[in-house]
Structure formats: C-alpha cells, structure tokens
Amino acid sequence: MTDTSPPRRRTARSAADLLAAGLVGAQEAALIDQVGTVYSIAVTPSIMDLLAQGDADPIARQFIPSPAELEASPGELSDPIGDDVHSPVKGIVHRYADRVLLKPIHVCPVYCRFCFRREMVGHDGDCLSDAEMEAALDYIRARPEIWEVILTGGDPMMLPPARMQALLTDLAAIPHVEVIRLHTRVPVTDPARVSPAMVAALKCGKAVWVALHANHASEFTPAARAACAALVDNGIPMLGQSVLLKGVNDDKATLTALMRAYVANRIKPYYLHHGDMAPGTAHFRTSIAEGQELMKSLRGDVSGLCQPTYMLDIPGGHGKVPVGPNWLRPEDGLVEDPKGGLHRYPPGAE
C-alpha cells in the first residue's frame, strides 16, 4: 500500500531547536542543554503545536526538559523495573511465564521526561540487527508457554511499515503465540505515522492489540483521534495506559477527563502506573497514598468503563502489582461504599 502522507516536519532534538520554535527562553535553553548531555530530547511537531495552544503546562511538563532531571534522589535506579535481570537474550525481557517483552527498536518519537527506560533509549538508540532479531525470535519459538508477545522499546511504531509487517508475520507464524501487543505513544505524539501502510502491517492473522500511552486529555487532538479511529475501525482493539504524574494528571478532574477521553475514543483504560524510581524523576512522583485517594474518588462518580487499575512496578524487577484502595476491611468485616459509608458483609454477620 502506497503511503501518500505529506512531507514530515522536523522534530525538535535540542535546546536550540526548542528555542528556535519559541517554546523556551534563552536562559531556560542553557539549562536544557545540560540535561540534553545526559538524557535524549525529542519533541514532535504535533506536540509542539499542542504546546503553542492553550492548555500547555501539563504537556510541557511531560516533554520539555527540566534541570530537576539532573537531581538524583535516594532509591532511584538506572534500571528501575529490572529489565536487565530478566533479559536472557538481547531484545527480550521474560519476567512472566506466559508473555515476553520484545524490544525491536530503542528510539521514540518523543522522550518523556519521566521515562523508566530513559537511560536505555535515545542518543544511540538503534534497531536489533537481523541476527539479534532472529535470536530473539528463536527464544520465543523454543518456549511454548509464551502466549503473548509485547512489542515495546523504544516505541515499536517507529519501525517502518514494511519492517513491522515482517516482524508480525514472523511472530504470527509461531503457533503458541496467540496475542501480540504494541505499547506506543505514536497515535498521540506523531499521529501521521499511523498511515494506511502501518494499519495494514498490523493485520497479521493473530490478535493484535495496541496499548496507547497518554497522560492528559488534551493529547487527544483531532489528528490523534483520527489515528486511533484508523486503528479501531480496522478491527485493532486498543487499551489505554497512563502514568500518574504530579502537576500533569494528579487531580480528580484531570484524571476523569483523561479516562473519559480514552473511552470516547473506544480505548479501554487498562493501567494507571505509579511513577517508577527512574533517576531524576522525583518531581513527578506522587505518594501511593495520594494515588489511592485519587482512584477512590473516581469510583461511583465516574463510569466503570473509565476505571484503570492502579499499578506499582516493584523496583528491582519483582513484577507489577495492583495497589488501589481496599474497600473491604477484613479486620472487622466491613465494606466501604463509594460515599464513605460502612456496611456489614454479609448482612447480619456478627
């Protein structure tokens, strides 16, 4: 399928680019230069357009570098979720028995300032070589317990459509792989990449799911909504995952708007991640107690379709666990309703 998209505009990749675009001042650019020597910078034209509009602060906080990123806090780790300790071959992370992560590419359309893989993606990011990809596929082929393959990275939708199609064809040919999931920011940060050729590449004869990462309702621009519709209308189901971020979405109204934006675009909210212990990200992290109170505030007032699971990825590679509020009090047999009332369950029990 021929891609007839218009020529692509340039992504900002330095403090000088951001200054030229009028997104930062000269003094701020000098500080951003320091951050750029440690962590990669990329802000797509779509995000730059959004920054130039009204509700820019929660978007700028996600994508414009801050000197606070150079301030390490106790407990922060270069590999906060333990990818390395669960990587038997390059490109594979096998933490859970029935699924693996496959990281075919180490670049992203944008670099989120809170990224848990911020030390592994960006500057010298690349694709797996043909030999490395074959070794990763051989690892999957040899393990019949692997039911699902999750493409992540980097952002797998940065692959050219032809390369995506070839990869999915190889995965679909493995009998025990029944589900392929893509974790991506592309539909909201670089929606032009969701081209007819890319949509066609995702149809491989197996169940393909796209998990979209968005953190604020304003990310769902008209172009982003059209990109999501192109996927869903072609039979590709979508999930939503977000990160709870201080100053971005850590209040009930903002979180509600985000979850409703997902559902209005036919995307089921899946996970709300507690901020990982990545270096220089303390200014983004809430406490778990704050996150639990936010999740509690959604229950009852906001549609059940809009309720994600609040998740903590235990530092060191010990897996994800839900850490949402507990409505049942086992110590006294009472259950709390969404308005704070307490009730005996079962009714009449002593």
At 101, give phi and psi (nearest 5°).
-90, 140
- Coil, helix or strand for 30? helix
Edge-to-edge strands, sheet with 92-96: 92-96, 99-102, 148-151, 179-184, 207-213, 238-243, 267-273, 309-313, 320-322
13, 96, 141, 206: which is the annotated catalytic residue?
96
Place of tokens 């459509």: 161
Whether the Cβ atoms of residue 335 and residue 345 lie closer than 8 Å to each other = yes
Which residues share a beta bridge with 209?
181
Catalytic site residue 95?
A: yes
Pick the closest to residue 112 from 171, 179, 63 (CA basis).
63
- Coil, helix or strand for 350? coil
What number of other Cβ atoms are within 10 A of residue 159's Cβ? 24
Catalytic site residue 112?
A: yes
- Coil, helix or strand for 63? helix
Please report the beta strands in 246-347, taking only residues with DSSP state E, as ranges in sequence order: 267-273, 309-313, 320-322, 328-329, 334-336, 342-344
pLDDT at residue number 1: 45
Say which DSSP state 143 is in.
Answer: -
What number of other Cβ atoms are within 10 A of residue 49's Cβ? 12
pLDDT at residue number 347: 84
221, two tokens:
């621009």
Place of tokens 């589900």: 179
What residues in the chain have per-residue pLDDT under 70?
1-8, 54-56, 123-125, 349-350
Query: What number of helices (H) and strands (E) belong to the chain?
Result: 11, 12
pLDDT at residue number 166: 97
Catalytic site residue 117?
A: yes
Say which DSSP state 158 is in.
Answer: G
Catalytic site residue 99?
A: yes
39, 103, 108, 190: which is the annotated catalytic residue?
108
2, two tokens:
């021929």
66, two tokens:
């801050």
276, 285, 296, 310: which is the annotated catalytic residue?
276
pLDDT at residue number 130: 95
117, 181, 185, 296: which is the annotated catalytic residue?
117
Whether the Cβ atoms of residue 239 and residue 209 lie closer than 8 Å to each other = yes
Q: Which domains does the chain have, with CATH numbers?
A: 80-324 (3.20.20.70)
pLDDT at residue number 53: 74
17, 39, 61, 95: which is the annotated catalytic residue?
95
Whether the Cβ atoms of residue 280 and residue 252 lie closer than 8 Å to each other = no
How far lies 122's CA from each of 151, 200, 289, 342, in Å?
A: 17, 27, 33, 50
Element (H, E) at 306: none
Which residues share a beta bridge with 147?
none
What number of other Cβ atoms are within 10 A of residue 100's Cβ? 25
- Coil, helix or strand for 259? helix
202, two tokens:
């995702």
CA angle 267, 208, 114 (to 5 degrees): 60
